[in-house]
Amino acid sequence: MISSNRTCVNYHKVIPPKTHRLSARIYLDRPRGYRGDPNWKEEYSVGGGGPLSLILVLGGARSGKSSFAEGLMAKYSPPVTYIATAEGRDEEMIQRIQRHRATRPPSWETVEAPLGLVDEIRKRQDRGVILVDCLTVYLSNLLLQEEMQALDAAEREERILLEVTTLGEVASKAKATVIVVANEVGWGLVPPYPLGREYRDLCGFANQRLAAYAQEVYLVVAGIPLSLKDLSLGR
């Protein structure tokens, strides 16, 4: 489950149909309090920043989630910042990152942040749009730090989820729109080794925590985005 060769930036090649991207933009055009429920109240969200300060985009491998997230960015005014969390640990990975970088418009600022994600968002929180791709790789980077491996599993979980909470607080209160891409890793096979199971559970807890701060949460399946807070029975 944890590999330096796994990265959300590799999943963007699956392009969702144009009609689906337009449908997502229709959701974004609705009033901020809208969730498909006339009784929906703003206090159901933890965050309190500008309109759609934090958007979470979830999906499996090659689901089209990164392409959908990049399409959402067109809705907002520049500057555009792309924060990549993957590291080029080998030649094959370096080439993947270079190919992906070549597809981005030259006007986008690219920031590589395998660690220190919250600080990078704070530096740019006053305007524009920020895309983080992706949270799942970032969690792997945190988990595999030498100092983390010296702790027990409960302590690692507490520290990492505290950072996710800080990320949610900062992003949801930013004037910039922050779009975070993350994997849904819990729908596959159970990892055969303890660290893999710990990582899978950590990703699930982190997604839940960040979703509580997000004004919009999308799940992308086979290139088709679903607005989860519109569909949620709890909203």
Residues 100, 124, 156, 200: which is the catalytic one? 100
Q: How far is CA 115 from the centre of its chain?
A: 15
Is 100 known to be catalytic? Answer: yes
- What phi, psi does 110 have (nearest 5°)? -105, 125
Alpha carbon distance 61, 100 (integer Å): 16
- What Cα–Cα distance (Å) separates residue 159 from each residue in 41, 165, 167, 229? 31, 10, 13, 28
Name the 3-class secondary structure at 56: strand
Nearest to 82 by CA among 13, 122, 129: 129
Nearest to 97 by CA among 6, 185, 180, 3: 6
Phi-psi category of residue 223: left, alpha or beta, with phi > 0 → left and psi -120 to 50 → alpha? left
Compute the Cα dihedral for 196, 164, 217, 96 and give only its sign.
negative
Whether the CB-CB separation of 225 and 219 falls below 8 Å is answered with: yes
Whether the CB-CB separation of 210 and 167 falls below 8 Å is answered with: yes
Whether the CB-CB separation of 96 and 90 falls below 8 Å is answered with: no
Q: Which residues are known to be catalytic? A: 100
